[in-house]
Chains A and B, each alone.
Chain A
Amino acid sequence: QVQLQESGPGLVKPSETLSLTCTVSGDSINTYYWSWIRQPAGKGLEWIGRIYTSGSTNYNPSLKSRVTMSVDTSKNQFSLNLNSVTTADTAVYYCARGHVAEPHAFDIWGQGTMVTVSS
């Protein structure tokens, strides 16, 4: 079955760049939309943005100036960079797959990775 696994540093200093990678196993990354979503502790879900396997992207306007996403189809991976982080960026970060019939509903999720922004 399809599985997603987030990886990256669990601790990032303020003003630096948060970098995460999502590795897709069990299926090809091609022909799907892939998103990042985050969730601060005890709070709700925030969609960060999505990337298609062609490389086209769509970011949440609230984060657009700081976000870059990329995809590496040869490695079946996609990535998130969030620059100039502050403590407000501390959250669990999830990668997720867009549903084949409804690309902005997320049918497969990674387990999530906690990222803390702190000096």
Chain B
Amino acid sequence: QLTQSPSSLSASVGDRFTITCRASQGISSYLAWYQQKPGKAPKLLIYATSTLQSGVPSRFSGSGSGTDFTLTISSLQPEDFATYYCQQLNSSPYTFGQGTKLEIK
């Protein structure tokens, strides 16, 4: 099981934003992060905990190992307001966190 916190957050453009994803058991570095905007498919941001997917801006970063992981956006841009999901890649079923909705303050 993956638990994300917070479930929702309001922030402003330019803020630093961090989400936590906690796994109920160790998953090494097998974690991915996605961004989803309303009515759209999720977009892969990061895999293997910290590897940025091609084309993803460098303001996105990921860290962690074992059971605790974070996604950080160094300086929020207007297009970053969306819902974010973590996903464990360690073992089947490849479950997702419940999501964190980031809204504009």
Residues in A lying within 8 Å of B, measured CB to CB: 44-47, 58, 60-62, 94, 96, 99, 101-102, 104-107, 109-112
Contacts and interface: CB of A to CB of B under 8 A. Distances in A.
A45 B53 contact: no
A44 B85 contact: yes
> Majority SS of interface residues in chain A?
loop
B93 interface: yes
Nearest to A46: B96
A112 B41 CA distance: 7
Contacts of A46: 96
A61 B95 CA distance: 12
Contacts of A107: 44, 53
B87 interface: yes
Q: How large is the interface on B (under 10, 10 to 19, 20 to 34, 35 or more residues)?
A: 20 to 34
A44 B98 contact: yes
Contact of B41 (A44, A58, A94, A101): A94
Contacts of A94: 41-42
B44 A106 contact: yes
Interface string B55-89: 00000000000000000000000000000010101
B93 A60 contact: yes
30 contacts: A44-B99, A45-B34, A45-B85, A45-B87, A45-B99, A47-B87, A47-B93, A47-B96, A61-B92, A61-B93, A62-B93, A94-B42, A99-B47, A99-B53, A101-B47, A102-B32, A102-B47, A102-B48, A102-B89, A104-B30, A104-B87, A104-B94, A105-B47, A105-B87, A105-B89, A106-B42, A106-B44, A109-B41, A109-B42, A111-B40
Which interface residue of B43, B89, B93, B96 has the most chain A CB atoms within 10 A? B93
A38 B71 CA distance: 23
Contacts of B97: 44
